[in-house]
Amino acid sequence: QQQVKQSPQSLIVQKGGISIINCAYENTAFDYFPWYQQFPGKGPALLIAIRPDVSEKKEGRFTISFNKSAKQFSLHIMDSQPGDSATYFCAATNTGGFKTIFGAGTRLFVKA
């Protein structure tokens, strides 16, 4: 129940294309769903996050779609750029608690 399943494991997208990464969770107590971006040799950084009371959140080229009934959420990167090449982690947390559960990560490569 504490798992967050993320797919795909790796993704290759052409420059200008749309990158889509999916995650699913089981624990309905989670109330905060962030996406983190990590470049090689660096710590993760928050990219965008959503709460379950909204179905979509958009920040620039990045959009989270959230389906509460299906317990799924996804990250869409529009107009993908080579600089977006990184590893992306979805996560889920219960803000009343302390632990954040991370997905396995998706390695995105955007071809120029």
Chain residues that interact with another protein, rule: CB under 8 A: 31-32, 34, 36, 41-46, 49, 89, 93, 95, 98-100, 102-105, 107
Tell me how far apart the alpha carbons of residues 112 and 108 are, in angstroms, rounded to a whole number. Answer: 13
**What's the min distance (Å) between Cβ of 16 and another protein?**
26
Tell me how far apart the alpha carbons of residues 40 and 42 are, in angstroms, rounded to a whole number. Answer: 6
> Whose Cβ is closer to another protein: residue 29's or residue 78's?
29
> Whose Cβ is closer to another protein: residue 74's or residue 106's?
106
> Whose Cβ is closer to another protein: residue 17's or residue 102's?
102
CB neighbourhood size of 109 (10 A): 14
**What's the min distance (Å) between Cβ of 111 and another protein?**
20
> Whose Cβ is closer to another protein: residue 15's or residue 51's?
51
Nearest to 2 by CA among 109, 107, 110, 100: 100
DSSP character string of 52-90:
TT-SEEEETTEEEEEETTTTEEEEEESS--GGG-EEEEE
**What's the min distance (Å) between Cβ of 80 and another protein?**
21
**What's the min distance (Å) between Cβ of 38 and another protein?**
8
